[in-house]
Structure formats: structure tokens, C-alpha cells
Structure 1
Amino acid sequence: MSGDGLRTVDVAVGSGYSVQQVRNLERLGVIPPAVRAPNGYRRYGPLHVRALHAYRALAVAAGPVAARRLLTEAWSGTLAEAAAAIGEVHTALARDRADTLRAQEALRVIRDEEETYETDHLVTMTITELAGALRVRPSTLRFWEDEGLVRPERVTSLRARQYGPRAVAAARIVAALRGAGYGVPVVREVMGALERLDGPGSAPYLLRRRLEDIAARTVALLRAGADLAAVIESSR
């Protein structure tokens, strides 16, 4: 790429990054090396600015590590490889959204059935039955127990676990949240909040927040599109 007379400070102003950040991102391969003028100063072109705009949006959509990989591959890889990498980000966001919507539906069903769980004394399950209902391994339920997420109502002298209505409901919520991608610390926070009250730390609130985050990341990916296309086409 030939330089078009833009100084480092010009690229910084045009991209919203600092001068040092521009140099760092050049070193990381997010933008190609600048052309050196006879006096040794860097000279960039408009495409460098577009690449940095694409990187900023991609960092929101996929995270800075993935954004760096996507930009470096866009400069050096084939058109098919670059398009496939962007397609993977779109696919991951769509999958996250679908998983979160399924978790929301699971929570809605759980809430609709809460009265049944409270009154139906027949809703008591062994660890094998509950694992089968949730489509997880019994070892997963034991792990959740070790982490304080789900506790059996009773453990017999033979260490056979029995899960009553509240434990079954809790296990379903944990399964929904874990399926939506939340780590154990967040799930533990949610379960504690649900025990206290249905406040802003509850599972429905966090799932709504997750959907909003996915929407923002999707918009950022769309925003990166034109700049990224210019980068990919220029490097061919």
C-alpha cells in the first residue's frame, strides 16, 4: 500500500485512536506498515484510517483479539478466507441470540410452573431422572452441587440424591443460564438474587441485558462492513 501523505497524527485524529495506539496497531498487523518518507517519518493513506474504523467496530462485535486476527488475515489471506472469518462472527452472534432466546423461554416456562412445583408433592426426582430431564450428565449436577448452585433436598445414607420441587426448579434455571453462556460465578449471583427477591440481578434481567449486548455487537459488525470490504478488496 502506498502512502498518501497522512501523518501518524492525521490517522489518529481520523480514527479516534491515539498516536501511540496507531503505532501499536501497526506493529500488531492491524494496519500494514506505513511508507517511510525521506525524512524517516511515517506516511499513511486513507485506507489505513478505514482499517482502523473496521477494527474498532470489530472489537465491539467480536472482541479485540478476534478483531486483530480478522484484520491481519484480511491483509494477508484470500478473499474466501476473509469472507469466511466474517461469516463465523455473524454465525456466532446468531447462535448466541438463539441460545439466549431459548433460555428466556425456559425461564418463562419455569415461572408458569412455579405453583405446580410448590404444590405437587410428586415432583421429586433422583439425580438420574433430573439429569435426563435437563439433558445433562449426573456428574454435571454433582458439579453444580459442589459450586453451590443446586442442592438436593435429601441425600440418603447410600448417598443417593433426591431433588424436591424447589431443587428441580433451581436446576432448570441453572441449566437455562449455563446454556445461554453464563459462567459459574454469574449463575451463582443469579441464584442468590432469586433466593432473595426478583430484583435487577435476576435471571430474566441478565438475559435481557445479554440480548441487548448481542444486538449492539451485531450493529457494530454491520458498521464494520463497508470499511472491511474496502480493506479486503484493496489487498487483492
Structure 2
Amino acid sequence: MADDSALRTVDVARESGYSVQQVRDLERLGVIPAATRSSNGYRAYAPVHVQALRAYRGLAGAIGPVAARQLMADLWTRTVTEAAAAINAVHVGLARERDEVLRAQQALWAIESEAAHHGAVEAEAAHHGAAEGADTMTITELAAALGVRTSTLRFWEREGLVAPERVTSLRARRYDASSIGAARIVAALRGSGYGIPAVRDIIDSLHSLQEGGGPERARHILVERLDRIAARSVELLRAGADLADILDSLTPARAPAPA
């Protein structure tokens, strides 16, 4: 006796927004479970197949079709606990991307602020006829200006974040305007809680952005990235209800074996 609740391939295609061929292809790739076969050999689908295709659409918009196919195919072999953790990792990844862009925006602001400050210092020095080469600092002077220890500046130097203009025969360091500006940026980022690897990555990435068109272009690129992340987050939220229904159909978490 035929199951009146069974969905045909064309029904699934219509409900999911995919073509009949796409439904078959995504079944073959494991994005949706294999359909059962009716007595006459035709595919028989269930509502969970439609939910899986809608969830896949949202995931593809959030993390790309390749990663979405892999995640969906993997979900069917997981327990509820494992599948929920895999989906949560997608949310965490998007949040991390957003934090990185916001951090880069803060660093760009710091770089631009320091450039403006340095320009004002140069203008003031020129107005008062300061001698060429006066805009330098010793390591002690720079450390005092930044409110850090001289050992901190030496550590930043070893990490490649700040370099003195020159080191005299007596190993005395002199920092020129460029080095002072870099040190101020590093101090600002470190004061905001960023670790050394993060500071290095931020400065390197911003330098790359600026080389591609200056600070204005860098700001535009970062805003575009935030907009794309927001759109991807919406796609993930759109997939949420269908993913929740899929999790309900999975095997419950296994209880730990007795001791």
C-alpha cells in the first residue's frame, strides 16, 4: 500500500526551491539522507528531506557550498550532542571573524590617529625652527612617554614590532619619528588587551590594506567585510529552525559506559 504522506522528487524540489536534478545530486552527495523506494521503484521522501535542503541553502550562504555539503553530510552520522557542537562551531567562527575585523578597524584608527599626531608634532617643530634630527628619542625617553618599561620596548624589538632607528657603538638606541609612531600603535593595541601575535597580524594586515589604496580604501574594505559577515550570519539564522528539526531526528547522545 502506498504511503500517502511520501513526497515525490518533484514535491521536494518545489518545497525546497531546488531543481529535481539538484535534489538528486545533493542526495548523492549525502547532503540529504537517501530516499526510500516505493514498490514501483520511485523515490519516496519525507519532510526532513525538505528541511535538510533548506538548512543546506542557509549554511551554503554562511560558510560556502563546499563546507556546507561536508557539514550536512556529517550531521547524519552524529549524535545530537555532536551535531549541535558542529553547528555551534559555525556560529563561533562567524563571531570570531567579526571580532577580527572590528579589531582591525580599531588598529586602523590607532594608525591614523598616530599619523595625525605625528603630523602635528612635525608642524609644531617646523614652526619653532627645531633642528633636523631633534624628533628622536632614547629608549628611556620613549619608555617614559609610553608608560612602559625599557625592557618592554626591547621585547617588542625582538618580536619585530618596533625597531630603533639606530644603535650606537655603546648599544644606545635612538628611535626616529616612524619608530615612535609604531611604538605608540603597539602600546595602544597592547593596552587594549591584544596579544603579541594578534598585534603583529593586525599591523601586517593593515599595512597590506593600505598598500592597496591607502587608509580610505582600507576602511571601505573593512566595512564591506563586516557587511558580508552580517549577511552570512543572517543566512545561518535562517537555517536555524530547519537545523533544529534535523537535530530532533538524530540519535540521542550516548550515555557513558558504567565504571
Q: Would you say same fold, with TM above 0.5?
A: yes
Residue 128 (structure 2) aligns with:
none
Shift in alpha-carbon separation, 1:78–1:99, aligned structure 2, 3 A = same
Residue 24 (structure 1) aligns with:
25
Structure 2, gaps ≥5 residues long: 123-134, 140-152, 167-174, 186-197, 252-259
CA distance in 2, matches of 1:22, 1:104: 42
Shift in alpha-carbon separation, 1:218–1:3, aligned structure 2, 3 A = farther
**Counterparts of residues 181-200 of structure 1 (less than 5 Å):** 188=208, 190-194=210-214, 199=216
CA distance in 2, matches of 1:191, 1:18: 45
**Contact preservation (8 Å) 1:26, 1:33:** yes
CA shift at 1:168, angstroms? 6.2
SS at structure 1 position matched to 2:212: helix
Shift in alpha-carbon separation, 1:124–1:20, aligned structure 2, 3 A = farther
CA shift at 1:187, angstroms? 6.6
- Amino acid corresponding to residue 89 of structure 1 in structure 2: V
**Contact preservation (8 Å) 2:115, 2:181:** no
Shift in alpha-carbon separation, 1:124–1:164, aligned structure 2, 3 A = farther
Aligned length: 204
Residue among 193, 217, 225 paired with 2:240 = 225
- Amino acid corresponding to residue 231 of structure 1 in structure 2: I
CA distance in 2, matches of 1:10, 1:89: 30
SS at structure 2 position matched to 1:76: coil
| Structure 1 vs Structure 2 CA RMSD | 3.7
Residue 47 (structure 2) aligns with:
46
CA distance in 2, matches of 1:87, 1:52: 19
- What is the CA deviation profile of residues 11-60 of structure 1, one whole-angstrom value per residue up to 9, with x for unaligned ones? 11211112221111111111001111223221211210110000110111
CA shift at 1:69, angstroms? 2.6
Shift in alpha-carbon separation, 1:12–1:82, aligned structure 2, 3 A = same
- Amino acid corresponding to residue 211 of structure 1 in structure 2: L
Shift in alpha-carbon separation, 1:181–1:117, aligned structure 2, 3 A = closer
- With structure 2 as the length reference, what TM-score do the two structures score? 0.64
Q: Does the alignment pair 1:212 with 2:227?
A: yes
- What is the CA deviation profile of residues 114-171 of structure 1, one whole-angstrom value per residue up to 9, with x for unaligned ones? 123344543899xxx69927xx944x99xxxxxxxxxx9x99xxxxxx98639966xx
**Contact preservation (8 Å) 2:136, 2:176:** no
CA distance in 2, matches of 1:92, 1:83: 14
**Contact preservation (8 Å) 1:124, 1:165:** no
CA distance in 2, matches of 1:181, 1:82: 36
- What is the CA deviation profile of residues 63-83 of structure 1, one whole-angstrom value per residue up to 9, with x for unaligned ones? 223222322232121111011
Shift in alpha-carbon separation, 1:31–1:7, aligned structure 2, 3 A = same
- What is the CA deviation profile of residues 84-132 of structure 1, one whole-angstrom value per residue up to 9, with x for unaligned ones? 101111111111111111111111121122123344543899xxx6992
Residue 122 (structure 1) aligns with:
136
Q: Does the alignment pair 1:132 with 2:156?
A: yes
CA distance in 1, matches of 2:224, 2:14: 33
**Counterparts of residues 90-101 of structure 1 (less than 5 Å):** 90-101=91-102
Rg (Cα) greater in structure: 2
CA distance in 1, matches of 2:58, 2:105: 28
Give me the identity figure in percent: 47
Structure showing greater relative contact order (alpha-carbon pairs closer than 8 Å, 6 or more residues apart): 2
CA distance in 2, matches of 1:192, 1:163: 26
**Contact preservation (8 Å) 2:7, 2:44:** yes
